[in-house]
Chain A
């Protein structure tokens, strides 16, 4: 994980950190909520939380704000109103795909989001942090869990995801 953390002589430069990481955080949230405008709002909220938490403004600020962003995204995803909105909206088109392929891909992304919303919060966070290429040590630090347990917990989270997916949509093809 390439978090751009700006710390000079022990002093945290919030503005520089914000500029360097905002796009990455907004993209991480957009993956979860599937709404770019909302992702930017939630990214700003994640940085606001960081600004109000001085003890988080240090070497691990990147992981801290990423985890906060994922939690905000998952909370958003769990909102029934938002889910209804996603059901009514198709994702933006990608030119390289046929309309039918894009429809199937959008439907699959929607299935994944629904499963993430149904999972235990920590399982969903583990999967998303792993998906963002966080190392085990970074995941342990971000979620405040024992580093030696990350592999086991991640495996369980993947099993939970698969089980929930099969229960809702059948065996993947």
Chain B
């Protein structure tokens, strides 16, 4: 194999060899200095690697903690937590009434206080709010013109059917059956949240034609409500956002009715 003559072109080899004649005798590369520079580069590289590992480890721990803290179920009496990433990078702002469907607003337009009620139809605490607190709130504050209510959808991604339920309720609202649909959804939450058969739950309070229109419906109302909730930095459902003299104050978890009543009376005084 070592028969070099087979491949030999003396002229080409001479040309390559001629490169050697360029001042070689006068130049001595400084290996010592180069090794010192190499050592410094190695130390920088090792420091950078250690720093990156430390940062990566810290980031991994933070992410793990946040993931472990994220809710996987929603059975607490005080409400359902919003995933941590939904609460990031939010800015509070109010939405004009003109952008809110009329069927979601209950009470006098000129009421001094507005309460925006952010709920998730699969959230047990939201169902309890509608069952226990809302009737009293309506009686003492809405019917008397002191407060108006805006229902807001805030379906959490830990729930499989809450977004669809909100679209059913809003379709019913467009047809004039909003309050009946909302009440029925919360009353029958335990049933349809297992099967996803929301239409069956609403069958006797909302006309069939309305229920059949939901599948093709592209409801922006839910998205608008969710966007507003994120701007308000919601951390859980249910949350009441008290709107008074231009300020927005999220209240969560929702206190018992007597405390809420005292708070509202204080604001209205």
Q: Verify if A63 is at the interface (C-beta below 8 Å from B).
A: no
Instruction: Determine if B29 and A108 form an interchain contact, defined as CB atoms under 8 angstroms apart.
Output: no
Q: Inside 8 A of B27's CB, which chain A residues have their CB?
A: 27, 30, 36
Q: Are A136 and B4 in contact (CB under 8 A)?
A: yes
State how many residues of chain A have any CB contact under 8 Å with chain B.
49
Would you list which residues of chain B between 231 and 255 have a CB under 8 Å from chain A?
none
B96 CB within 8 Å of chain A: no
Closest B residue to A156 using CB positions: B7
CB contacts under 8 Å to B, within A5-28, are: 15, 18-19, 22-23, 26-27
> In B21-80, which residues have CB < 8 Å from any A CB?
21-24, 26-32, 34-35, 37-38, 41-42
Partner of A92, one of B7, B11, B15, B23: B23
Secondary structure dominating the interface of A: helix
Q: Does B215 contact A (CB under 8 A)?
A: no
Assess whether A23 is in contact with B23, with CB atoms less than 8 Å apart: no
Residues from chain B with Cβ under 8 Å of A26 in the complex: 29
Count A-B pairs with CB separation below 8 Å: 111
Q: Chain A residues near B26: list those with CB within 8 A.
A: 92
- Contacting B at CB under 8 A, from A87-116, are 91-94, 105-106, 108-109, 112-113
Known: A26-B29, A158-B9. A44 touches B16 (CB 8 A): no
Q: Is the CB of A151 within 8 A of B3?
A: yes
Given contacts A44-B34, A94-B23, A112 and B18 within 8 Å (CB-CB): yes
Cα distance A170–B15 in the bound complex, in angstroms: 15
Q: How far is the CA of A16 from the CA of B30 in the complex (A)?
A: 14
Contact B35 A135 (CB under 8 A): no
* List of B residues within 8 angstroms of A48 by Cβ: 38, 41
In the complex the two chains form, is B15's CB within 8 Å of A161's CB?
Answer: yes
Question: A109-B19, A127-B12 are contacts. A18–B1 as well, Cβ < 8 Å?
Answer: no
Within 8 Å of chain A (Cβ to Cβ): is B95?
A: no
Residue in B1, B3, B23 whose beta carbon sits within 8 Å of that of A91 in the complex: B23
Chain A residue with the shortest CB-CB distance to B29: A26
Interchain CA distance A32-B24 in the complex, whole Å:
12
- Give the contacting residue for A147; candidates B1, B18, B22, B28; CB below 8 A: B1
Is B200 engaged at the interface, CB distance under 8 Å to the other chain?
no
Q: Is the CB of A152 within 8 A of B13?
A: no
